[in-house]
Structure 1
Amino acid sequence: MATPYIDPYQLDQHRRTVDPHRNAQEARRRVLELAAFMKREEADDAAQPRSRGTASGHAVDMFLALLQDRLPVWLRILDDLMYLVGKGRVSENLLPIARAGIDYYCEVQAASLPAFTSPSVTVRFREAMRDSDIGPMSEIVPLTAYLAAEQRAGRVSPDVVPVASARLLLAGCFSHAYYETLLGADDFLPSRDEVAEEIVRELRLEPPPA
C-alpha cells in the first residue's frame, strides 16, 4: 500500500496552530459523537438489537469510555512534540512517544477484543469512524509534522520520508501491543521499554555525524 499523501500546507498549519489542550478536548467530543452514532444505529437495528446490560453491550460501552479517556491524552502527547523541535536529540524525544504509544495501543486493543465480537457492531464502528476525524491520520499528522520540522532544521536526514517514518513508528507500537495482548506480557516477548528503543533506533532518522 502506498504511503498516503499529506499536504505540506496541512503540516504547516498543524505546526502553527497546534493547541494540545484544544485538540484533546476536540478528540473527546468526537469520541462522544461516535458513541452517540453507534447507539443511534443500534436503536434502528431491529434485526440484531444489542440491549444495554448484556455482556456484549457492556464491553462496547467500556471500550468507548476507555477511548474517550485515553485517545485525547495520546493525541496531546503527539501534539506536544512540536515544543521539542530543535531541542535535545530527535531519538531521545521520540523514545517516550514510542513507549506511550505501546501503552496506549495495549489498553485499547485489550478493551476492543470483547467489544467487537459482533459483525454488526464492527460495521457500525467502521461507519462512525469514517465520519469522524479521529482515525489513523489524527495520529500520523502530528508525528509527521514534528519529523518534517526537525528535518527542516537539519536534525533528521534529508532522505527520510517523514510520513513514512511516522507510520513505521506507530505500526511498531501497534504490532507489539497486538502480540502482547494476544500472548501476554512475559519472557516470551521483549519488554515495552526494549521495544520502544528498538523502534526508534531502527528508524535511523538522524544524519550521521560529520
Structure 2
Amino acid sequence: MSHGPSAPLSGGALTRSRILDAAAALMTNVGLAHTTTKQIAREAGCSEAALYKHFRSKEEIFVRVLHERVPQFSETLAELPERAGDERGPAEHLRDVTLAALRFYRRSFPIAASLFASPELLATHRRKLDELGAVGPQNAGQHLAAYLAAEQKLGRLAAAADPYAMANLLIGACFHRAFLDLFFAGEAPEGALRPADEEEFATETVRALLGGTGV
C-alpha cells in the first residue's frame, strides 16, 4: 500500500540533511583534509554549535556522507548471500553488484582520496568506523565471496573457482574503471574506455569473470 510522498524535512532533521549535503559537496570539491567543520556549517547555513548537536566530529560527518549521500554498495552486498539459488541467477546478481560498485567508487573516490595523504587522518577514520559500527572496505569482498561460495555449493558456479579471487577480480575491475572515469572526466581518448557504456561494462565484465571459471 502506498503511503504517498515523504513529508518535507523540518527542524533538526532539515539542518542535519543540509549539513550532509554541504559536507558532501565540500569533500568532493576540495577534499576531506581541507574541509573544516566551520566551512561545512557556513555552507549549510548553520552555526558550528548547531553542527555539533548532530555530529561529534568531521570524521563522523564523513562516514555519514558515505552512508547517506553516496550510491549504496554495502547494502547491495549484505543482502546478496540470501539470494543464492534464486531465479535470477549469478550473472544477473553480479551485474547488479558491478553497477552498484562502479557508481559507489565513482562517487566516493573524490571524497575519500585525501584520506591517504594523511596517515593520521586515515587512522582517525578507521577508529571512527569502529566506534560507529560502520562497515569497512574489506566487507565488500567478504560479502561477495560468501554469495559466490553459496552459489558454488548449489552447483551454479564451477567447483574449482576460488570465491575470494573472483570477488577480488570483480571489485578490482570496478574500482579501476571508476578511477579511469574520474581521471578522464568525460574526455577519454577514443578506445581508452572499453566498453565505453557502463551497462555494457557490467555485462561484459561479468561475462568474462564467469567465462573464466568455466560456468
- The TM-score with structure 1 as length reference comes to 0.61
Structure 2 distance, partners of 1:164, 1:178, is 21
Cα offset, 1:90, TM superposition:
1.3
User: What is the one-letter code of the residue matched to 1:156?
Assistant: L
Cα offset, 1:79, TM superposition:
2.3
1:53 counterpart residue number: 38
Q: Does 1:195 align with 2:194?
A: no
Matches within 5 A, 1:3-42: none
1:36 counterpart residue number: none
Structure 2 distance, partners of 1:207, 1:61, is 41
1:125 counterpart residue number: 125
Identify unmatched segments of 5+ residues in structure 2: 1-34, 44-57
* Distance change >3 Å, CA 197–CA 70, structure 1 → 2: farther
Cα offset, 1:167, TM superposition:
1.3
Structure 2 distance, partners of 1:118, 1:160, is 38
- Give the percent of matched residue pairs that are identical in Structure 1 and Structure 2: 27
* Distance change >3 Å, CA 60–CA 179, structure 1 → 2: farther
Q: Does 1:103 align with 2:103?
A: yes
* Distance change >3 Å, CA 207–CA 183, structure 1 → 2: closer
Tell me the alpha carbon deviations over residues 26-82 of structure 1, each in whole angstroms, 9 at most, x when there is no partner: xxxxxxxxxxxxxxxxxxxxxxxx852248xx8977643421215794222112223
Cα offset, 1:123, TM superposition:
4.1
Moved more, 97-106 or 82-91: 82-91
Contact 1:140 1:163 survives alignment (8 Å): yes
Tell me the alpha carbon deviations over residues 86-124 of structure 1, each in whole angstroms, 9 at most, x when there is no partner: 223311221111011100111111222467665543342
User: What is the one-letter code of the residue matched to 1:67?
Assistant: L
Identify unmatched segments of 5+ residues in structure 1: 1-49
Structure 1 distance, partners of 2:63, 2:80, is 26
Structure 2 distance, partners of 1:160, 1:70, is 35
2:10 counterpart residue number: none
Contact 1:147 1:162 survives alignment (8 Å): yes
Query: Which entry has the higher C-alpha Rg, 1 or 2?
Result: 2
* Distance change >3 Å, CA 72–CA 105, structure 1 → 2: closer
Structure 2 distance, partners of 1:118, 1:184, is 25
* Alignment RMSD: 3.6
Contact 1:155 1:207 survives alignment (8 Å): no
Structure 1 distance, partners of 2:60, 2:197, is 30
Compare relative contact order (CA 8 Å, sep 6+) and give the higher one, 1 or 2: 1
Structure 1 distance, partners of 2:120, 2:212, is 46
* Distance change >3 Å, CA 161–CA 71, structure 1 → 2: farther
- The TM-score with structure 2 as length reference comes to 0.60
1:157 counterpart residue number: 158
Contact 1:91 1:206 survives alignment (8 Å): no
